[in-house]
Amino acid sequence: MSTAAKQKAKAAGIRLDDDSADTPSEPVLPRTAPGQLIGLQGRVHSQQAEIDKLKRALEQRAPGKLPLDKLHEIPGRRRKLAPAEYAELKANLTAYPLAQPITVRERHDGEYDIVAGHNRASVYRELGRTEIDGIVLDIDASMVEYAAFFSNLLSPTLSDFEKFWGFKSLQDSTGITKEDLAKAAGISDSHVGRIMKFDLLPDECKELLSARPERLGSNAAEQMAKAVAEGRVDKVKAAIERLLADDTYTQAQAVAATKPDRLPRERHEPLVVKRGAKKVCQISARNGVVGVSFSGKAADEAEHWAERIHAFIESELEKQ
């Protein structure tokens, strides 16, 4: 199963109003009646309180030392880093202490499932470390994906596309509004709105972006979403495919490739006025400008003809 499909599957199963940690819950039904709307609003209010509580725990909980051999990775939850990003992380953790502790949830067997920090834990293992700083979250299973998302949201390297998947998961599973999402994440409504423009891209493009999410930012995605709305889907698909395949191809070039094709300008042959066999002048028109170019001795009469042309245009306008 692809990364995108896994994330969609996770989103479909998240419920914050389910007290059971073991029983999978059904997806929240869409709002179709006033009663359902009232119930959903109540759940969103409750969820917002839980999210606020979770964010405080992430910010305030003191980290402790966790044995790396007791940590377990959950498939599909690990952030996908580009090779250069992973190498940079490894170089940083080789030279400096861990700045941001990982977050985990304790299992029934006394070991831990990683909530956020899979790459940090992986680097520590490669470096031969036996322990890592971590925060143990005492949270319900239904809040784990929230914890993973908000823990990663604190990272400045989280790509816009990964933020989109996180927001989309929360929105699909809870019915939470864009405004509430912005409040929960601590960013502006307009930023969330721009990030959600990824959802307007073709599904094939989102599937491709899940493998290299850092390649397309929300500003470029917003412009590509506009191109999709205007019917240039094939151009968008081709631009994103090339962007992901060619590291020298920039986002600006990809956006430019989705613009409408320029229509060829109509070319009009100039009008030539002759006196006998000799050319007197040439008249051309382009972009609203009429030009009259006199040749030979006729050039001495240009000012005279300018006055006559002026008088002619005025007389024609009076007739209208």
Q: Which pLDDT score, from 0 to 100, does residue 267 have?
A: 67
Q: Which pLDDT score, from 0 to 100, does residue 154 have?
A: 54
Strand order in the sheet with 289-294: 271-275, 278-286, 289-294
Q: What is the pLDDT along the chain (320 residues), one digit of tens a residue?
A: 554 455 445 444 433 333 333 333 444 443 333 333 334 344 445 556 666 666 666 555 667 899 999 999 988 778 777 787 788 889 989 998 888 888 898 899 999 999 888 999 999 999 999 999 998 887 777 677 666 666 666 565 678 888 888 788 777 766 777 787 777 667 788 888 899 999 999 999 999 998 888 899 999 999 999 999 999 999 999 999 999 999 999 999 999 999 998 766 666 788 998 888 888 889 988 878 888 888 877 788 888 888 888 888 888 888 77
Going along the chain from its start, the domains and CATH numbers come out as: 3-256 (3.90.1530.10), 271-319 (no CATH)
Please name the residue ranges forming H helices in the chain: 3-13, 34-60, 83-95, 118-126, 144-153, 160-174, 178-185, 189-195, 203-209, 218-229, 233-245, 251-256, 302-319
Q: Which pLDDT score, from 0 to 100, does residue 231 have?
A: 94
Q: Which pLDDT score, from 0 to 100, does residue 251 have?
A: 94
Phi, psi (degrees; rounded to nearest 5) at 148? -60, -45
- Is 107 strand, coil or helix? coil
| Residue 188 CB-density burial (10 A; 0-12 exposed, 13-18 middle, 19+ buried) | exposed
Q: Is the pTM of this model over 0.75?
A: no
Q: Which pLDDT score, from 0 to 100, does residue 289 have?
A: 87
